[in-house]
Amino acid sequence: MCGIVGYIGKNKKALNVLINGLKHLEYRGYDSSGIAYIKDNSLIIKKTVGRINDLEKIIDNDDYAYIGIGHTRWATHGIVNKVNSHPHKCKHITIVHNGIIENYQELKNKLIDKGYTFKSDTDTEVAAVLLEYLYEKNNDILLSIKEFKQKVSGAYAIALICDKEKDTLYAIKKNSPLIIGLGKDENFIASDVPAIIEYTNKYITLNDGDYAKITKEEVFIFDNDNKQVNYNIKTFEGNASEINKNGFDHFMLKEIYEQPAVVRRMISLNSVPDISRYKQILIVACGSAMHAGLVGKYLLETYVDKPVIVEIASEFRYKKLFIDKNTLVIAISQSGETADTLEAVKVAKKHKCRTLGIINVPESSIAREVDYVIYTEAGSEIAVATTKAYIAQVLVLAKLAYRNCAIKDLKEINNFQISLKKLPVIMEEILSLDKKVKQIAKVLSKQRDIFYIGRGIDYAISMEASLKVKEISYIHSDAYAAGELKHGTISLIEKNTPVIGIVTDQKIASKTISNLKEVKARGANVIYLTTKELDSEGDFYDYKIIIKNINPLLDPILTIIPLQLIAYYVALERGCDIDKPKNLAKSVTVE
Ligand code: F6R
């Protein structure tokens, strides 16, 4: 997690580039931040607890620097405080780091034995001290980096300044993302493109094991075998407006409203593969991406007629596996950097499985690791809570189910392409329900708990709706299979406990409605979300949201929209920091 940025050049004030870049990387972590730069031949470090806005307050805007590195932190080793925040410096070497040095304690002990002392509890300071120790021995940074890589295990994207080489930046990458942005008489280092897109759309993605020496005119890249290599220059095709709020109060709301446009873009999405030769499908993912996988399980089992298992990536990695070349492993990830999902793909490959990635960020680690990738084309997603990337993942899975459908002559299947074209307009109609949603959100925002129930595909959607509300509003919430409630959870229902019932599947609608009646009889405040087709009157609900349905393969995309809006407006009512919920980060690159 954590975001890193670096600048060297003569065109701009390094401090502006660093602060601006860090603001665009805050989604990666935002508990503390810092920068290091060279001014009048001296290295200056400024760091603070809090957001980039807080860092800005302690920086002297008149400081001119042509070289600098910056960091926004999501704490892993050591509490959130100024000492633990980056950059970390040991004599000549100053670094910022994203990732985890796994053998840091062992290295630290050895360095202490050699007489070094430590100020912080971080693994990063150990990396800085080790680099300094090697530099003192070798008097050569590149050689020291080479030896550093041999000694260190774990994940690291590092930007480094040596105060004896004031015209050079160094970068090192293993298992954490790092790019080098290319400008004219200036170059950049960043965890991700948004940090540099205002200045250049040309960049190089470093591979695992690579390291680089960067001056304002030149970039030299060395591979894992320490050979200088040529590199591919990529062009970022998106634009800077994607990383601005464009008049919305929050990125999350902007991204919810962008969803029809995402679907329009994806209608003509390149082909999805034929998966008929596999005996079973295994989906690995985390959080909302795993919830998209659960929707996919329902669609693929129903229409492709194959068993589908959904595994939480962090569990999959460590369990006994019954998979082989007849299993297709689908990894779903917005960032393409989630450590557990990436490792799950590597495990699957060791078991000789073919791997398919459903990924949003081009050229990300998982996209490069899988055998076949389908890009979701949701564009940059900045809000920590995913919305548009989630619906894009569900859409890819729906397309996969349609393309591989084993059940012929189904009306809904025949209508799929027509329904897909109509989908964005219906999504826009649902977005216009936001007055009703705000009224419900106001009631929910005062509650201690919110429960979501549904059966089948509605249960999968309930899980995503529940995660959305709890992560951004901090209200406790859980999702239950509606039939399971009376096996324990119903004891939690009291007068006015909110229960949101999702009822979109005709085959089981009456069953879920019975469950809603059971909670209503025990005092619950019932919010009934259903489709025009299934709408039924009764005294079992307090509020009702009716949405259009269009096609069973695409309806989950419609169902989640009012639930995303509810989560957003509940959090807004409670005055929460919606785009950056506490303790979270957008890209979870640690286990
Ligand atoms: C919740 C959310 C997370 C992510 C999860 C996986 O709103 O965004 O649960 O879905 O951390 O992230 P990716 O998709 O980047 O692998």
Q: Which two tokens stand for residue 458?
A: 């509605």
Same domain, 434 and 320: yes
Q: Whose CA is nearest to atom 16 of ligand 1?
A: 333
Same domain, 55 and 158: yes
Number of domains in the chain: 2
Is residue 101 classed as helix, strand or coil in its secondary structure?
strand
For 231-239, the CB contacts below 8 A with 24+ separation are 231/204, 232/204, 233/182, 233/202, 233/203, 233/204, 234/202, 234/203, 234/204, 234/205, 234/363, 235/201, 235/202, 236/193, 236/197, 236/201, 236/202, 236/203, 237/201, 238/193, 238/197, 238/379, 238/380, 239/197
Find the CATH number of the domain harbouring 539.
3.40.50.10490
Q: DSSP for 260-290, please give it.
A: HHHHHHHHTPPPPPP-TT-SEEEEEE-HHHH
- Supply the range of the domain harboring residue 266: 251-573
Classify residue 163: in a domain, yes or no. yes
Among 242, 270, 298, identify where a domain stops: 242
* Rounded Cα–Cα distance for residues 151 and 9 (Å): 32
For 337-367, the pLDDT digits (tens) are: 999 999 999 999 999 999 999 999 988 889 9
pLDDT level of residue 588 (50, 70, 90 thresholds): confident
Is residue 235 classed as helix, strand or coil in its secondary structure?
strand
For 208-225, the pLDDT digits (tens) are: 999 999 999 999 999 999
Same domain, 180 and 275: no
Q: What pLDDT sits at residue 239?
A: 67
Same domain, 163 and 59: yes
Q: How far is the CA of 287 from the centre of ligand 1 (A)?
A: 5
Assess whether the C-beta atom of 331 lies below 6 angstroms from ligand 1: no
Assess whether the C-beta atom of 386 lies below 6 angstroms from ligand 1: yes
Of 482, 558, 565, 572, residue with least CA distance to 520: 482
Same domain, 128 and 159: yes
Same domain, 220 and 326: no
| pLDDT above 80: residue 412 | no
Find the CATH number of the domain harbouring 40.
3.60.20.10
Q: Whose CA is nearest to atom 10 of ligand 1?
A: 288
Assess whether the C-beta atom of 342 lies below 6 angstroms from ligand 1: no
Distances (CA, A) of 121 to 75, 130, 476: 11, 15, 32
Classify residue 583: in a domain, yes or no. no
What predicted TM-score, i.e. pTM, was given to this entire model? 0.83
Same domain, 187 and 262: no
Same domain, 55 and 26: yes
Same domain, 201 and 301: no
Classify residue 590: in a domain, yes or no. no
For 44-88, the pLDDT digits (tens) are: 999 999 999 999 999 987 889 999 999 999 888 889 999 999 999
pLDDT level of residue 547 (50, 70, 90 thresholds): very high
Atom of ligand 1 nearest to the CA of 387: 7
Q: DSSP for 282-293, please give it.
A: EEEE-HHHHHHH
Among 213, 242, 271, identify where a domain stops: 242
Q: What pLDDT sits at residue 10?
A: 87
Catalytic residues: 2, 586
Same domain, 107 and 7: yes
Classify residue 152: in a domain, yes or no. yes
For 474-488, the pLDDT digits (tens) are: 999 999 999 999 899
Q: What pLDDT sits at residue 270?
A: 63
Q: What pLDDT sits at residue 194?
A: 87
Among 209, 242, 275, identify where a domain stops: 242
Q: What pLDDT sits at residue 587?
A: 76
Q: What pLDDT sits at residue 77?
A: 87
